[in-house]
Amino acid sequence: MERLLQNIKTLRLNHCHTELDTLIKKKRTFLDQAKGNFLKFRKIVEKIQDHVPSVIDLDDRVVTVGNPADLDPEASKALYHSLDKLSPWRKGPFNLFGIHIDSEWQSWMKWERLSPHIKSLKGRCILDIGSSNGYYMFRAAAKAPFMVLGLEPQSYFYFQYLAIQKFLKKDNVFCLPIPHDELPKTDHYFDTVFCMGVLYHRPSPVEMLREIHDSMKKGGELVLENLILETRENICLFPRDRYAKMRNVYFIPDYLSMESWLLRAGFINVRCVDVAKTALEEQRKTRWIQTESLKDFLDPDDPDKTIEGYPAPVRAIFLADAG
């Protein structure tokens, strides 16, 4: 976190230096005093040795850092156990010094669905909301952006990112352990904003979209991936209790509703560039998670429905420009 402040002038964020300084000091105090998972995962990452990778490849389906030969057997075993203790690994896959982390999500599938459609990331200021362990940030970093900032409040995801960044040491990649609504106003700073798998967890989606819009440069590009209803009736699904066993799902819009939300929030040139039903090949249980996965969320007698009887997950990627 402190690296962000140290580079505040280079990053051209002087206009919100005071707010970021206050926020980061507050979060540092929290992390230093935190109990529970934050303390548990912080200790794990602190004990990971600072290995130097002989190879780095961020532009492949498997984000690769180092070769097996970079570590002796004892160091490799220690790293494996540390990474295992940071589970569950939702996003990926990663290969760290020969240790293959077969994540729950094959995140490269989403990246390959969206990457042909988005503007070049070269030289851009990028925000990734709900950045998880940084998989998409690292894929974006391979495209020579000016900077990438992730926001990730979940303890295990944030410390997974720190573990990987411990080896990568990407000078232009940063992450704050906060939700989006704690980010200070950045006054039209970002050229590209990724918001993927987040909006349906918000009870006020249009308000969030407005806040995103106001953080972007005019003409900047929003890359929005969300659960969708496959209709064009301007309606939303509002689950009574859970959706696919998730408690915190609020509005799942259809195509016209999503377009209306984006237009109301100030975006223009809204277009849907991809629609994909979530498949078991993309989201599945592996040894790197200890929880249920997609198969457990679907009706065993009808995979087109969730266990609650709602339409099974379909995800759409929308692009929109900040007006």
Residue 23 φ then ψ, to 5°: -60, -50
Contact by Cβ (8 Å): 108, 61: yes
| Model pLDDT for residues 128-152, shown as the tens digit of each residue | 999 999 999 999 999 999 999 999 9
Q: What is the pLDDT averaged over residues 219-246?
A: 98
Q: How far is Cα 178 from Cα 170, in angstroms, rounded to an integer?
A: 20
DSSP 290-303: -S--HHHHEETTEE
Lowest mean pLDDT among 28-37, 133-142, 197-206: 28-37
Question: What pLDDT was estimated at residue 272?
Answer: 99
Phi/psi of residue 213, nearest 5 degrees: -55, -45
303: pLDDT strictly greater than 90: yes
Closest CA to 322 of 255, 272, 262, 274: 262
Sequence-separated (6 or more) residues with CB below 8 Å from residue 316 = 225, 226, 228, 255, 258, 272, 274, 275, 276
Determine what percent of the chain is predicted with pLDDT higher than 90: 99
Q: What is the pLDDT of residue 112?
A: 98
| Contact yes or no for 67/56 (Cβ under 8 A) | no
* Average model confidence (pLDDT) across the chain: 97
Per-residue confidence (pLDDT) for residue 1, from 0 to 100: 87
Task: Please state the domain extents for the chain.
Answer: 2-322
Query: What phi and psi, each to the nearest 5 degrees, are found at residue 271?
Result: -150, 145
pLDDT of residue 222: 99
Is residue 292 scored above 90 in pLDDT?
yes
- Give percent of the chain with pLDDT exceeding 70: 100
Query: How does pLDDT run across 165-174, given as a tens digit for each residue?
Result: 999 999 999 9
The answer to whether 254 and 230 have CB atoms below 8 angstroms apart is yes
Q: Class for domain 2-322, per CATH?
A: alpha beta
Collect all residues with Cβ–Cβ distance below 8 Å to 155 and sequence separation of at least 6: 36, 37, 38, 41, 177
DSSP assignment of 140-168 equals: HHTT--SEEEEE---HHHHHHHHHHHHHH
Q: Is the pLDDT of residue 229 over 90?
A: yes
User: 2: part of which helix (H) or strand (E)?
Assistant: helix 2-6
pLDDT of residue 95: 99
CA-closest candidate to residue 60, choices 139, 126, 143, 141: 139
- Least confident among 62-66, 117-121, 186-190: 186-190
